[in-house]
Amino acid sequence: GAFEVPLAAKVLAETGTVDAIICLGTVIRGDTPHFEYVCEAATRGIQDAQMSTGVPVMFGVLTLNTEQQAIDRSGPGIDNKGDEAALGAVEMALLLKTIRN
């Protein structure tokens, strides 16, 4: 789930075989505080993976209140957050390549 995504991203980044990583997922709010714990841990973990490895790790984990919001943000159209994360990954990989060279 979303809680485990940061570890996978960090381990992949540490291989040195990728220029960027895109973390995708969806967390939908329920009736317990679990939502807040998972979202905070995923957010912090993804940021930590990026900062500790120097590999761009894009945050494409949707944190939403309803299933409809997930559909709206992941379907075809201009609001697709996966598309935005992919574009950001390419832009960051190119920027860092320029800076490092």
Catalytic residues, by residue number, are: 34
CA dihedral 57, 69, 26, 36 (to 10 degrees): 90
- The CA distance from 28 to 75, in Å, is 16
Query: How far does Cα 5 stand from its chain's mean position?
Result: 8
